[in-house]
Amino acid sequence: MLDQFIGDLAAEHPEKWVRMEGGLATSEKAVLLVSGQPRAGTLSGEVILVRENDYWRVHDEIVDFGLH
């Protein structure tokens, strides 16, 4: 499931690379800490997931983009 999410995230955001740096989770909510390199600059942020009916869904993405 997590592999699918990372693949979907990469497809939606055509960065050179995106890496999961860490995260925190309870049985109902999770926060993934991510970093990456878009075509120009850098990105860092959080992906907030919530559990609904035994599946995780993205609730929000908070991403900060910086330029080189």
Q: Hey, where are the domains in the chain?
A: 2-66
The model carries a pTM of 0.68
Task: Report how far residue 53's alpha carbon sits from residue 63's, in angstroms, rounded to the nearest whole number.
Answer: 27
Span 22-68, pLDDT tens digits: 999 999 999 999 998 877 778 899 999 999 998 999 999 888 878 65
Task: Report how far residue 45's alpha carbon sits from residue 48's, in angstroms, rounded to the nearest whole number.
Answer: 10
pLDDT of res. 66: 80
> Do 30 and 46 contact (CB within 8 A), yes or no?
no
pLDDT of res. 50: 96
Kindly report the CA angle at 26 between 28 and 61, in degrees rounded to 5? 70
Four-way CATH pick for 2-66: 3.10.450.50, 3.40.1790.10, 3.40.1110.10, 1.20.210.10:
3.10.450.50
Closest C-alpha among 12, 53, 19, 52 to residue 36? 19
pLDDT of res. 23: 95
